[in-house]
Amino acid sequence: MLQVNAIGKIYQNGARALENVTLNVEDGEILAVVGGSGCGKSTLLRLISGLDRATTGTVSVDGVTISEPHPYIGLVFQEPRLLPWLSVAGNVGFGLDEPDTTRKAQRIGEALEKVGLSRYGARWPKELSGGQAQRAALARALVTRPRVLLLDEPFSALDAFTRAELQDHLLDLWNESRPTLVLVTHDIEEALFLADRVAVMRPHPGRIAQAFDITLPRRRDRTSPEFEAVKRDVLRSLNSTLALHKIAS
């Protein structure tokens, strides 16, 4: 279980990015975190991943306190952040600790296949489209088989078409090994399509305003009346927490 215990983050410039955030995420759960920009979503993921230290509070996975990047935890950044001097396959294998080169190549091949990039392993990152690059970044995080995968607005730079496709893809991948997912997004539909639970954040200081359990059976139909109904509920609640204008923007 991923436990976030009352963490807070005050940056050196005094910005109170997070205050007293507590979350428990069950193994295999998909948690979506929504909120407008600047309400501390990225900060939250950076603290969970161990890239940054929390000013107060602790993060633990299965009781192990996280204070620096940990092999249990993978992170997909908002941008692909592929290393331009490595081939796509080289990028996917970048964090893979596998001394046996044939095994390594095999695992890279599998990961590429899972994200639909089998034919692109030999390419340079500069030869990929935005969606392909984001897939490669996903494969790079997945290939190390993290127990917890953090995704920071991974699809936000993509067109609606590619985004829907990758959301489907992400569910397929999640279905295979059921890692815990924490997905940051500003797209409520994306959150409702993917998540078991949606946490809404508010800024100044960043905190969790409200959380909704989403019990609709998967694979959810974005156009079904049930989906629309849940969406309306969430939006209405958001409105009453005064966060709506932030999220809609």
Partner 1 sequence: MSATEISLPEAMDEQRSAARIPKSRLKSVWLGVLLPLLLALLWEASVRTGLTSGRLMPPPSRIITTLWNLWQSGELTTHIAATTLRVFSGFALGAIIGTLFGALTGYSLLARRLLDPSLQALRAIPSIAWVPLFILWLGIFEESKVALIAVGVFFPVYLGVSGAVLSVDRKIVEVGRIFRLSGFELVRRILLPAVLPSYIIALRSGLGLGWMFVVAAEFMGASEGLGYLLVDGQQLGKPDQILAAIITFAIIGKLSDSLLAAIAAPFLRWEDRFGREA
Ligand X SMILES: Nc1ncnc2c1ncn2[C@@H]1O[C@H](COP(=O)(O)OP(=O)(O)O)[C@@H](O)[C@H]1O
The residues that touch partner 1, with contacts defined as CB under 8 A, are: 49, 51, 68-71, 74-75, 77, 79, 81, 83-87, 89-90, 93-95, 101, 104-105, 108, 121-126, 144
Closest distance to ligand X from the beta carbon of 154 (Å): 13
Q: Which among 91, 96, 152, 154 has a CA at the least distance from the CA of 124?
A: 91
Q: Any residues with CB less than 8 A from the CB of 154 and at least 6 apart, and which?
A: 76, 77, 78, 134, 137, 138, 166, 183
DSSP SS3 for 82: coil
Q: What is the Cβ-side half-sphere exposure of residue 71, based on CA atoms within 13 angstroms? A: 6
Residue 75's binding partner among Mg ion, ligand X, partner 1, none (Cβ under 5 to 8 angstroms by kind) is: partner 1
Q: Which is nearer to ligand X, 17 or 182 (CB)?
A: 17
Q: Does 185 bind ligand X (CB under 6 A)?
A: no
What tokens were used for 36? 């407008």
Cis peptide before 219 (omega within 30 of 0): yes
Q: Which is nearer to partner 1, 107 or 197 (CB)?
A: 107
DSSP label of 218: S
Q: Which is nearer to ligand X, 15 or 171 (CB)?
A: 15
What tokens were used for 176? 């295979």
Residue 15's binding partner among partner 1, Mg ion, ligand X, none (Cβ under 5 to 8 angstroms by kind) is: ligand X
Q: Does 179 bind ligand X (CB under 6 A)?
A: no
- In terms of DSSP bridges, do strands 207-213 and 197-202 run parallel, antiparallel, or are they unpaired? antiparallel
Q: What x-and-dash track marks residues 31-70 binding Mg ion by CB under 5 A?
A: -----------x----------------------------
Q: Does 249 bind ligand X (CB under 6 A)?
A: no
Q: Which is nearer to partner 1, 83 or 242 (CB)?
A: 83
